[in-house]
Structures are given as structure tokens and as C-alpha cells.
Amino acid sequence: MRPILAVFFAVIVSCSAFAAEKPNIIIIFCDDLGYGDLGCYGSPMIRTPHLDRMAREGVRFTDFYVGASVCTPSRAALLTGRYPIRNGMCSNDRRVLFPDSKGGLPDSEITIAEGLQEAGYATMHVGKWHLGIHEGSRPTDQGFDHSFGIPYSNDMDPREGIRHREHAGRQDPPADGWNVPLLRDNEIVERPADQTTLTKRYTEESLKFIREQKEKEEPFFLYLAHTMPHVPLFVSEDFYGKSPAGRYGDVVQELDWSTGMILEALRETGLAENTLVVFTSDNGPWLVMNDEGGSAGPLREGKATTWEGGVRVPAIAWWPGTVEPGVTSIVATAMDLFSTSLSLGGAGLPDDRIIDGRDLSAFLRSGKLPPRKPVFFYHGRELYACRLGPWKAHFHTRPPFRAGGAKDHETPLLFHLPRDPSEKRLRPEDGVGIKALKEIYSAVSEHEATLKAMPQEVD
């Protein structure tokens, strides 16, 4: 073979091998972790050395949003890349699924796991599900080869005589006070689940899965959805009493340890440079739980609100050798992980439905900024706010949970978030503000024109 042709074919083979090497994808999704609960996000009391290192070695997002400010719709948005209003996983009443709920994530929805499974990935769910317990909506019905975890929030299914709020603030909530089951592939393996062991057992399951896939040399998708730090808080003996921030700090420090174990396993197995790991949270902190509820840092309010503290969460993307270390202020969302994951895995996006998430793979690989896109914030099935560029407009606001009714704002509350992330300084109705509102109104109109009436799956 002539030298020039040899070089040409060598390049073709090299490029083909690169294209064929699909990165592993791990999404670590915490429950109720606040924007201000990690050292790399400014926590002065909670020590998170592994996550701080992850942030130094990866990219830390300052403006990362979830699809909803409570569990069920947020998880639906993450896994489908779609606002919950599109798949029915939202409600103006209960807002999340309960053990007696009849609905769940519709079988017609396409999840990250289903897309990657079709592309040849092994898929594993570990941790909290909270998207339905009925056939068609369970993890193994939604693209996961295997599942290990609890079906809904750890404060649900209380045992007789136990009331959640009576025990939430206790130094040691009764470990057997809740009857939440621990499932493996839809079969109960423990009931009630020993919640003091969950973070460690989730970690062990995740490490086992990673090492098994290393031996099989198959690309994999791991969705690790931690139960903590959702109240009631439980922590293993190794981390009990170790944080000056109390039991909440103990719990977060155990989550930090868990993440460190996973990253170290990737390094040890030689998988680190071919694995994207994203660490984030499903919504903001449960502030009404006081010391048990975490911190939103400089952001306003927390869980169950559409203020920044309820919908903006910590997020770190780590991919050694690919992701350039740094801090980014691009506006990104959990829904973007759907499009990004399928793109990286070589799976095509479904063309029979609207996907709200953007593909951030070019940003992760080369720092290319994605085009600007509005972010919409719903309370149940009602649009409450919209962010476009640096501006956020609130059409309605309300305190968390049932602390008070909604306030309708004939003139939307307008804030410039880069200058005022705490949403304290209302923007005056000057020319700049009026122009920003017009652009937001236009974005809302375009968005609402794409909505179809979907049955409510949360009851």
C-alpha cells in the first residue's frame, strides 16, 4: 500500500473508532439538595471535598434549572426532556405521586434509558423513582434493565401512629417509623427499608454495576437518584454527628462520600475519560423544615416555589479529558440532559413529539455556547414565570406548599438575575424592562401554542 493511502486509511479507522466509542453516562440526582449546600457553592459549614474536587476538574453551572420545584414532575422532566405539562406528570392539587396514586409516567413517553438502551447501552436505576408503581410506569418498564431502590419519597407510607411532621425535626427519627419498601426489579427485598443504610447501599449497587460493565466492555447509563437529603433525614453510623451543620450536614457529607467513591471507581477502572458524570438535585431545599431543610444560599425561597431557590440547583458536569474545567453561567436545564445523553450515545431524538431540552454535547466537548432559549416555570399545570436571557418575569407567585394562596401580578415582577439572583430588586418599568417583558410575552405565546391537552397523570 502506498504511504499516502496508508495514512488515509489509518485516519479513517481512527475516526471510526472514535465515533464508535460511546461514552458512559452517569446522572446523580439528589432529593431536595439546595443551591447553597455544597462547599463549591458557598456552604460555610458542610464539608464536600469530593464534590469540590469534581467541580474543580469539571464545569460548575451557576444557572442550572429543574423542570419543576417538586419531586415527581422534576424527575419526569429530567428523564423525558419535556416539561411535565406535556406528559401529564403535574397537578394543581397533590403535585406529586403518592402510594395510592393511580397514575404514573405514561408508557408512551420516551426516557433517556429507553433511548440509550436502543443504542446498545446497559441501563441501571438506583435510588428513588417516584414516577409510578403500576405496570407501564416502573423503572423496568421505562428502559432500565435493572432497578434497585424505593418507589416514592421516604416520608410516604408512614407506619401506624407515626406522623411525618411530628418526627421530622427530631434528633433521631424512628428508623422503623415508615413502611417504605426497598425494591429490586419490582420485587420487595426489605420493608420497611432501613433508611440509615440507603446511601451506602445505593453506592454499593452503583459501584457493582460500573465494574460489571467494565468487564463486559459495554457502554452504560447509570441513573443514581439518592433518597437524601429529603426529610426524614437518615445517615449511616460512619457519618453520624460529623458535620457542624447538624444531621442535614451529616447526610450531605455522606452524599459527598458516595460521589467520591463513584468517581474513584471510574479512575481505578480506567473509565473516567470515557464517562460523563452529572451531579445535581431535583429541586431546591425544603426550607419549612428549618435546620432539616438545607439552604438556597443567596437565592430566594426554596422547594415548591418558582422563585430561584425552588428551581435553580447545583449542577456539576465531569468528564476528564473532554470537559474543560471552569465555571459557566449559561442557562441550562435538567431537560437538556435528555438531548445531550442521546446525542452522545448515538441515539436519534424522537421526531414525533416536542423535546424541550437542548443538546449540550458541543458545549461539553468544545465549549461552544448553545443558542438562547426561554425557560418556563410551572406550579402544577399553571405557568408562573419565565426566564429569557438575563431576565425573569413572575406572572404569579405563592409561598411554599399551603402556606398561602397565589398572587396574580397584572404587571409581572421583573428581575435581572445576573445582577440580582436573590430577586429582591424589582426592575422599574423603564424602556429596557418593557422591551424585556415584550420578548418574554412573545416567548410565552410561542410556547403555549405548542401545548396540547394532556391527561393529568398525578392524582
Please write down the HEC assignment for all residues of 273-294. Answer: HHEEEEEEECCCCCHHHHHHCC
End-to-end CA distance of the chain: 69
CA dihedral 44→236→122→145, nearest 10 degrees, is -130
Query: Is 130 annotated in the active site?
Result: yes
Of 50, 125, 130, 230, the catalytic one is 130
Burial 126-157 (b: 16+ CB within 10 A, else e): bbbbbbbbeeebbbbbbbbbebbbbbbbbbbb
Helix, strand, coil % (nearest 5) of the chain?
Answer: 30, 20, 50
Query: Is 146 annotated in the active site?
Result: no
Q: Which is nearest to 373 in space by CA: 356, 385, 393, 361?
A: 356
Do you find a cis peptide bond into 298, omega within 30 degrees of 0? no
Q: Which is nearest to 88 in space by CA: 118, 65, 108?
A: 108
Of 71, 90, 125, 230, the catalytic one is 71
Do you find a cis peptide bond into 232, omega within 30 degrees of 0? yes
Q: In what order do the strands lie in the sheet with 391-397?
A: 375-379, 382-388, 391-397, 407-416
| Number of Cβ within a 10 Å radius of residue 231 | 26
Pairwise CA distance, residues 275 & 191, whole Å:
34
Contact 89, 78 (CB under 8 A): no
| Number of Cβ within a 10 Å radius of residue 412 | 22
Catalytic residue IDs: 71, 130
